[in-house]
Amino acid sequence: MSSPMGSPAPPAAGRAWAIVAAAGSGERLGCREPKAFHPVAGVPMLERVLDVVSRVALDGIVVVVPAGWEESARASVGRRFARAVVVAGGASRRESVRLGLGAVAEDAEAVVVHDASRPLVSPDLIERALAALAGASGAVCAVPVVDTLKRVEGDRIAGTVPREWLWRAQTPQAFRAAALREAHARAAAEGIEATDDSALVERCGEPVVVVQGEERNMKITTAADLALAEALLGPREFGGAAGGLA
Ligand code: C5P
């Protein structure tokens, strides 16, 4: 397989594309710009994610940003992916990914979806998600729940929920392209929203497997998350050089 991204190992899943969902507003973070454009230790989340994605062998990438932010995104994306496609997202994450899928090449066999709000993702995690497609229609990175879970009504504990089967889903999530397209088409037609793509593929009855995720691959939602992510990032952790793009 040729890789226009000029990256190392080819994925096991055939022609693979990535969709980076970056069209959220970031209201809960309290930033003026869309969240994906907000810096984490000096580098915008979207650039951090693209830096990681650029180390995975992929045939193409689609970056979904809020309407009106396409040009800013093209400026930073173009530095790493001359052939990346930037499209405007929608009102929900589900709609943004559906719009991104519309820009994925027809001959793509696998699509890995990643949220820009998880900039501490690793190339290895993306590759493991794609590799897990060998035996399934979808592969979801997730980590087991370690806390004891309580069901709470008002201020009263109404019960303790067994945690042995519970995992916290992350992105990246990799899918057979046909299964993801079908799942999104059905969800759009039926007006179904979901907080991840796996839920849409699952409801079509397709087999989805879990891939051991990384605790470090945290999601940045609040200012406290941002502070934690910055603490986790070492000074050298961007493109092998401190302080910005090489
Ligand atoms: O809001 P939340 O952090 O849960 O969003 C998860 C991911 O989905 C983020 O990377 C965000 O940019 C993206 N998103 C999107 N389009 C939306 C809402 C969220 O691409 N309308």
pLDDT in tens, 24-45: 998 889 898 999 999 999 999 9
Domain range 16-226, CATH architecture: Alpha-Beta Complex (3.90)
The three-state secondary structure class of 59 is coil
> Looking at the predicted structure, is the pLDDT value of residue 113 above 60?
yes
How many C-beta atoms surround the C-beta of residue 71 within 10 A?
9
Ligand 1 pocket: which residues have CB below 6 Å?
A: 21-24, 35-36, 64, 89-93, 96, 115-117, 221
**How far, in Å, are 80, 137, 155 from residue 17 at the CA level?**
15, 15, 46
**From the CA of 173, how far away is ligand 1's center (Å)?**
14
| CA of residue 83 to ligand 1 center, whole Å | 23
State in Å: Cα 25 to ligand 1 middle: 7
For residue 65, give the ligand 1 atom closest to its CA. 20
**Which residue's CA is minimally distant from atom 21 of ligand 1?**
92
Q: Measure 221 CA to ligand 1 centroid, in angstroms.
A: 10
Is the pLDDT score of 197 beyond 90?
Answer: yes
88, containing H or E segment: strand 85-88
Radius of gyration of the chain (CA): 18
Q: Which two tokens stand for residue 112?
A: 């890995």
**Residue among 59, 51, 93, 53 nearest 76 (CA):** 51
Of 18-32, 102-116, 129-143, the poorest mean pLDDT is in 18-32
Question: What is the whole-number distance in angstroms between the Cα of residue 158 and the centre of ligand 1?
Answer: 32
Give the model's pLDDT for residue 239: 67
Mutation probe of ligand 1 site: the residue of 117, 118, 196, 226 with most atoms within 8 A of C-beta: 117
pTM, whole model, 2 decimals?
0.91
152-178 pLDDT tens trace: 999 999 999 999 999 999 999 999 999
Burial group, residue 240, by CB count within 10 angstroms (0-12, 13-18, 19+): exposed
Residue 82 has what pLDDT? 72
Q: Which numbered atom of ligand 1 lies nearest the CA of 117?
A: 10
Ligand 1 centroid vs 105 CA: distance in angstroms? 22
C-alpha to C-alpha distance for 194 and 207, rounded to whole angstroms = 18
